[in-house]
């Protein structure tokens, strides 16, 4: 098994005449946590969405765990199973209990039987500190709890890598810490993670590497102490001056 879990090479993405990604290269190694920062509209979400082909790249290649997703013959469903994704909006099924939210895809996609799917669901609810909420409905939970359920739901599929797109941006400030705590724990457990975030403290403490994006490209990257602590590029400095 290769050490590189995500390999993005020469990635371009346009929407009509709007070029949103202008040649992006990213490699994420097994167990690595890479945080992506940058201004709104710089292409961060599009980059993440190209990794599991929620958006189809205009040019370039994306490989996950050695399998090239952009290969026309690729088994995209199989590749997507290796990728967990958590969005700003939690996207839980509101008419299903927390437990059922975690078992649906396991049963449909992984063909696990009910008992096994529920066992894995409870295990992952415990992992995010919500073992006692299995029978609750999503609307009975706080935003932070709902986001932790969304994380547990992704984990229940045994992904090789987790993608997070501003997972705390829709939360009330007092609920952000619990979600970041779960993400920190995942990082400590060795999960490979690509995280778009505005939480600079989290990026500083948890990321192995930080990418600063602007205008559809990576302007600067390196350890957080360098990119956030001592940025070299003017655009990075300007951005950080606004958010820190
Ligand atoms: P970020 O996540 O960094 O804020 P996005 O990747 O969401 O940036 O968006 C980058 C640019 O691409 C923005 O100008 C946005 O309006 C545009 N864009 C994103 N998705 C689409 C789409 N489906 N159709 C057209 N334009 C889009
Ligand atoms: Mg975005």
Position 71 pLDDT exceeds 70: yes
Name the pTM for this structure.
Answer: 0.96
Cα–Cα distances (Å) from 125 to 121, 132, 133, 134, 227, in that order, read 6, 8, 8, 7, 35
Position 156 pLDDT exceeds 80: yes
- Closest ligand to C-alpha of residue 214 is 1
Q: What confidence tier does 78 reach under pLDDT thresholds 50, 70, 90?
A: confident
Task: Report how far residue 177's alpha carbon sits from residue 236's, in angstroms, rounded to the nearest whole number.
Answer: 25
Task: Report how far residue 67's alpha carbon sits from residue 95's, in angstroms, rounded to the nearest whole number.
Answer: 35
Average pLDDT score over residue span 162-171: 97
Map residue 187 onto helix, strand or coil.
Answer: helix
Does any ligand 1 atom lie closer than 6 A to the CB of residue 147? no
Q: What is the pLDDT of residues 191-203, one digit of tens each?
A: 999 999 999 999 9
Task: Report how far residue 157's alpha carbon sits from residue 40's, in angstroms, rounded to the nearest whole number.
Answer: 30
pLDDT at 244: 85
Helix spans in 41-91 (H): 44-51, 76-80
Q: Among the atoms of ligand 1, which is closest to the Cα of residue 216?
A: 10
- Closest ligand to C-alpha of residue 169 is 2
Query: What is the layout of strands, in order, in the sheet containing 59-64?
Result: 18-29, 4-15, 59-64, 67-68
Q: Is 88 exposed, middle or buried (0-12, 13-18, 19+ CB in 10 A)?
A: middle
Q: What is the pLDDT of residues 197-227, one digit of tens each?
A: 999 999 999 999 999 999 999 999 999 999 9
In percent, the amount of the chain with pLDDT more than 90 equals 93
Position 1 pLDDT exceeds 60: no
Does any ligand 1 atom lie closer than 6 A to the CB of residue 42? yes
Task: Report how far residue 143's alpha carbon sits from residue 219's, in angstroms, rounded to the nearest whole number.
Answer: 33
Task: Report how far residue 6's alpha carbon sits from residue 141's, in angstroms, rounded to the nearest whole number.
Answer: 33
Position 25 pLDDT exceeds 60: yes
Separation of 134 CA from ligand 2 center, angstroms? Answer: 30
Neighbours of ion ligand 2 (CB under 5 A): 44-45
Average pLDDT score over residue span 116-140: 98
pLDDT at 80: 87
Does any ligand 1 atom lie closer than 6 A to the CB of residue 24? no
């Amino acid at each position: 098994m290769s050490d590189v879990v995500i390999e993005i090479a020469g990635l371009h993405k346009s929407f009509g005449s709007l070029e949103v990604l202008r040649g992006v290269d990213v490699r994420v190694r097994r167990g690595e946590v890479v945080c992506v920062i940058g201004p709104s509209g710089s292409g961060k979400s599009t980059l993440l969405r190209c990794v599991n082909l929620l958006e189809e790249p205009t040019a370039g290649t994306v490989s996950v765990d050695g399998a090239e997703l952009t290969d026309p013959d690729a088994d995209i469903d199989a590749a997507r199973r290796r990728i967990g994704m958590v969005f700003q909006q939690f996207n839980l099924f509101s008419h299903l209990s927390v437990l059922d939210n975690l078992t649906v895809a396991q049963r449909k996609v992984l063909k696990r039987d009910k008992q096994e799917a529920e066992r894995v669901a409870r295990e992952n609810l415990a992992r995010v500190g919500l073992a006692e909420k299995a029978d609750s409905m999503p609307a009975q939970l706080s935003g932070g709890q709902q986001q932790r359920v969304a994380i547990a739901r992704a984990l229940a599929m045994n992904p090789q890598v987790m993608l997070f797109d501003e997972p705390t941006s829709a939360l009330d400030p007092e609920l952000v810490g619990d979600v970041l705590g779960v993400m920190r724990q995942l990082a400590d457990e060795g999960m490979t993670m690509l995280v778009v975030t505005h939480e600079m403290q989290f990026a500083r403490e948890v990321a192995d590497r930080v990418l600063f994006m602007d205008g559809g490209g990576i302007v600067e990257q390196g350890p957080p102490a360098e990119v956030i602590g001592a940025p070299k590029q003017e655009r990075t400095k300007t951005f950080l001056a606004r958010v820190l």
